[in-house]
Structure 1
Amino acid sequence: MDWIEFPSLSRGDLRLLRRTVDESFKAFTRAYGETLETVFEPLRQFLIGLEQLLLTSPWPLVLAAIVGIVFLMSRSWRITLGSLAALMAIGYLGMWEDTMRTIAMVAVCTLTAIVLGIPIGIAMARSDRLQALVNPVLDLMQTMPVFVYLIPVVMIFGLGKVPGVIAVVIYAIPPMIRLTNLGIRLVSPDVLEAADAFGSSSWQKLRNVQLPLALPTIMAGINQCIMMSLAMVVVASMIGVRGLGQPVLQAINNQYFTLGVLNGLAIVAIAIIFDRATQAYGKRLQKHSEVVHG
């Protein structure tokens, strides 16, 4: 019998362990919850401000700005006209406001991931020991079910925009960190030796050599970050984040097929626009890098 049943803690010990951990985290939330909310208040205000800017500005101006950004990044009339058609269809079908909220959310989450992820990726590229420490954390962030880390975030911040941003960033930042690290490590040692020969300092090598050469790979990380942020839209709607995810969640709860499909297609359209624009920009950077350093 001893070889059939796996040895484990008794039910009483398991309940005690879980209760201890839960009570400890609740105590931490009561002690530091307000402080953490204050720390993240600028992020919340930035998201609200961007969202209001997109919602209160005349729609032709917003449409022209988005399409202009797509053209500047892609330099492709096909991608630009496709983006214009997709956004016009979204507005015609009555999903403009939710789309603007989603774009604001994705933009803030992506910027946050860039600001946090690039320095961490640079530090990992400079230290094998740090890379060995951070990689398991990134593995955990990518494989942990999303709903699990929603629990502590909601316990600390409640429902709303801030927990949504934090949850999305946790899910989307690993490729940003990994590809920044990879891009810098892939810079040719010969190029670094040439920079050393010209007397470049460590900061000058990073700014003038490593980051420019790693930029196409970093852009691939930004692309993945945007895609993963959009993938979290529906999950984020469960904790009060408004946008295209809420109608999808409503459609699931009430079995509204058309509502779910239309908003799902709007998310797909936004994802394709961002994906094509960032991929085209990354290819342009790569060609420029090959010409300059080729």
Structure 2
Amino acid sequence: MNSSIIGKSVEETVNYLFLHFRTGFDAFSAGLGAVVKLLEDGLGIVPFAAMLVFLVGIAIWRRGIVFAVFVGLALQAIQYMGLWSQTISTLALVIAATFFSLALGVPLGIWGARNNRVEVILRSLLDFMQTMPAFVYLIPAVILFGLGRVPAVIATIVFSMPPVVRLTTLGIRQVREELLEAGRSFGSTDAQLLWKIQLPNALPSIMAGVNQTIMMALSMVVVASMIGAGGLGEYVLSGIQRLDIGIGFEGGLGVVLLAIVLDRLTESFGVKSKKSKPANRFNKAGTGGKA
């Protein structure tokens, strides 16, 4: 089956980039691969017992004793199934993809919130990124960066970045105008309005974007395993290839347990920020701290 002129144009563009900028792509791939490897090795050094205590402690702090018990049982189940090393690999990939998604997505969301034309362009681009099947991202990623974790991270970034951009823009745009007017009346600059009023008040929405970005990154685990990402996705893929229900179920259960733990923990930060009432703190600061 031959592709149309649109498909041929995209193919020629990717081939042109590969032929003329191969050295740059190789250097970028080596750098990103080193970051992911360093992150994975760092997490792998931590003993299971120490990681268990750390995550249970955070669960108690953020969600309470009931969720802490669940976290402990979930991690013990992953360890019992012999999937701890695969879970660490998956966690390293998700953390790396989430970090770069936030590093790119939050500034883009701020830009879109402060510029209507940029917001229109970003909305169209994000619609394209979210609706394009994830498998399609893998083709140019493999051509430009080869097999392994690097193209998997890049494809995951493209797939998981839209929520944080959208929700950052939405959160900043929903900040009440009277708060901005109060800030301007005290002589705040645009940068001060952003950092002291808009971002604190938009934090619940931004944290919801972080939460959704992590969940979408985890949903790419199995897809990314097809190009050598490793981790739990590779375990699930092995079960599919061998038609082994047990292996597939254990790998899928590991992904589900990890997703629930990360989802509830990141969600708790957004809930907490709603209770902090930054607007009240600003009003108190503006009136000299008097009620």
The answer to whether TM tops 0.5 is yes
The RMSD of aligned alpha carbons is 2.0
> Residue type matched to 1:160 in 2?
G
Q: 2:200 aligns with which of 212, 221, 244?
A: 212
Mean Cα deviation higher: 114-123 or 55-64: 55-64
Checking the alignment, whether the CA contact within 8 Å between 1:79 and 1:277 is kept in structure 2 is no
State which drifts further: 78-87 or 187-196.
Answer: 78-87
**Aligned-pair CA distance for 1:105:** 0.9
| Structure 1 counterpart SS, 2:277 | helix
The residue number in structure 1 matching 2:222 is: 234
Q: Deviations over 1:162-220 (max 9, x none)?
A: 10000001000000100000000000000000000000000000001000000011000
Of 154, 164, 176, 2:152 maps to 164
TM-score under structure 2 normalisation?
0.91
Matches within 5 A, 1:30-109: 30-72=19-61, 74-109=62-97
For residues 145 and 173 of structure 1, the distance between their equivalents in structure 2, rounded to whole angstroms, comes to 15
**Residue 248 of structure 2 corresponds to residue 272 of structure 1:** no
Return the letter of the residue paired with 1:186: Q
Which residue type is aligned with residue 31 of structure 2? P
1:121 aligns to 2:109 (yes or no): yes
Pick from 173, 177, 184: which aligns with 1:196?
184
- Give, in whole Å, the separation in 1 of the partners of 2:247 and 2:174: 46
**C-alpha displacement at 1:93, in angstroms?**
1.2
* Aligned residue in 2 for 1:138: 126
Alignment partner of 1:261 out of 249, 269, 273: 249
Identity over aligned residues, as a percent?
41
Aligned partners of 2:6, 2:262: CA distance in 1, in Å?
46
Q: Which stretch of the first structure deviates more once superposed, 30-39 or 134-143?
A: 30-39
Structure 1 residues not aligned, in runs of 5+: 1-10
After superposition, the Cα gap between the structure-2 partners of 1:40 and 1:286, relative to the gap in structure 1 and judged at 3 Å, is farther
Residue 191 and residue 233 in structure 1: after superposition, are their counterparts in 2 closer, same or farther (change >3 A)? same
Q: Deviations over 1:127-184 (max 9, x none)?
A: 0010011111000000001111211111100101110000001000000100000000
